[in-house]
Amino acid sequence: MLRESLNRALLSGAAKPLLFLGCLAPAGWLVYGAFADQLGANPAEYLLRATGDWTLRLLCVVLAVTPLRVSLRLPGLARLRRMLGLYVYFYAVLHLLCYAWFDMGFDLQEIALDIPKRPFILVGFTAIVLLTPLAATSWNRAIRRLGGARWQALHRLVYVVAVLAVLHFFWMRAGKNDFAEVYAYAAVLGSLLAWRLWRRFSGQGGRPAVGHARIDQRTR
């Protein structure tokens, strides 16, 4: 009964607007904090770190959708994954813009020289580049044009992005020798990826992920 009620809530018309506002709230707080001088002694660093943190948090949430959907038998979760994925890209782009603005002053030549010079920036930039086609094809028309198999293969890049994101965070924290949060994210993302490998090799992989788009279309 509880599962059915929860699934109905996930399929309701209010679920997406609430998720949209919930995911946008951290960005709203950062904008407010910047204007109200609530971001500490170094607002630029705070914004850079916060946007990176929210990218990682939402990446964990996106990768948790399928395990939760399968384990809790909540098919309604599938229709929310697309919006969560787009918010991962949104915060990743904000993170990149903070670096380009606060660290480099939007000097494109200096940015182009800096990216290959520092490994952690190169890895982070590569992750955002790989996220771009995923965001660009997160629409029903793109899914139809690509076809289910190619769309699914393309969106497996999110697993590479997860590894690169953790590596970016690790190298960023290496200078301060502070790895507690890095290990926490690595453990969460590693567990979610390990669950997928277990499902794949145990023969419990189920139907292709592209089927989730059909749920989204039917319940909008």
In the predicted structure, residue 212 carries a pLDDT above the cut 60: no
What is the phi/psi pair of residue 65, to 5°? -60, -50
Cβ(29)–Cβ(96) under 8 Å?
A: no
Task: Tell me the mean pLDDT in the region 81-106.
Answer: 97
- 209 in Cβ contact with 152 (< 8 Å): yes
pLDDT given at position 206: 53
Q: Is residue 214's pLDDT more than 70?
A: no
Give how far Cα 121 sits from Cα of 113, 124, 125, 168, 172, Å: 11, 5, 6, 7, 8
Q: Do residues 162 and 189 lie in contact, with contact meaning Cβ atoms separated by under 8 Å? A: yes
Q: Which domain holds residue 39?
A: 2-218
Average pLDDT, the chain: 91
pLDDT in the model for residue 218? 45
Mean pLDDT along residues 159-165: 97
In the chain, how many domains are there? Answer: 1
220: pLDDT confidence band, cut at 50, 70 and 90?
very low
* DSSP symbol at 76: G
Average pLDDT over residues 47-68: 97
